[in-house]
Amino acid sequence: MKVEHEYKRCGALAYIAGIDVHRGKVFGRCEEKTGIVAFDRLVNQVMSQPPYCEARRVFWIVDNGSSHRGQKAVVRLKDRHKNLVLVHGPVHASWLNQIEIYFSIIQRKVVTPNDFPSLKELEQRIMNFQQYYEQITKPFEWKFTREDLNKLLKKIGRNDSNPLRAIA
């Protein structure tokens, strides 16, 4: 038997988000497309509210995506938010980035299967999940200390007395 499936393509939606691993707070927004403007809106969304706007330093750990890659992004964001410190994770190490783990959960639990009748319904489902996730998540408790990092670097042969000086 031959079966043909008809579907209407509704377009694409970009979900960009950040996570405060200390508070278990997710900041997300749906945009028509990704890019510098969309990323900067997310940064403004977070940095305009306490405790981030009042903090001495706020570290943003990012991958090397085009909207926040390189020194230009560091300067652009520092000009707008004096207390923001942009930290680029290693290339090909998304498994180190907590927001990437969250995105994998979104992929498996929210958008699969991707049979939404409209982008508005998809957006609503993503944002509802974001609220749910904030209710069930717990803050990430870091157990790996600066001393642990120094020991590890010494063990693997790197002789740097202050490996974190680039981000301090």
Q: What is the pLDDT of residues 64-109, one digit of tens each?
A: 889 999 999 999 999 999 999 999 888 877 777 788 889 999 999 9
- pLDDT for res 92: 77
Residue 90 carries which DSSP code? P
According to DSSP, residue 41 is labeled H
Quick count: other Cβ atoms within 10 Å of Cβ 125?
Answer: 14
3-state helix, strand, coil in the chain (%, to 5): 40, 15, 45
Q: What is the fold of 14-142?
A: Nucleotidyltransferase; domain 5 (3.30.420)
Helices 119-136 and 98-109: crossing angle in degrees, nearest 10, is 120
Domain boundaries, the chain: 14-142
Q: Whole-prediction pTM value?
A: 0.77
